[in-house]
Amino acid sequence: TGWHTVGEVASLFASRDCMGTVLDGVKVGIFRVDGEFFALDDICTHGAALLSDGFLEGHEVECPLHAGLVDVRTGCALTAPIVRDTRRHQVKVTDGQLLVRLS
């Protein structure tokens, strides 16, 4: 089906709203906003930083390296120096398990 099981939501997101993982060799960042989950390529399109190490405020994640903003719902680059959008992945929760399908 192409869905990868990342793990149990309750333990993965017990004390944080961002996490990074690797699926099929792809670094994926997963973000929780208001109980909803969003998944993006984790590597910033501007440089060598992981968005999941950044700062999430509302639906915007701030890259930890140069503070560019990305909308976690769409992967859209919102502010400089990020200009290229980030690839999104599908994410869902089934029976308490978080699953991601790579795009």
> Which residues in this chain contact ligand FES in the complex, by CB under 6 A?
44, 46-47, 49, 63, 65-66, 68, 81-82
Token duo for residue 65: 């390296």
How far apart are alpha carbons 22 and 8 in whole angstroms? 16
Nearer Cβ to ligand FES, position 9 or 18?
A: 18
**Phi first, then psi: what are they for 38, rounded to 5°?**
-135, 145
Minimal distance in Å, beta carbon 43 to ligand FES?
Answer: 9
Nearer Cβ to ligand FES, position 68 or 75?
A: 68
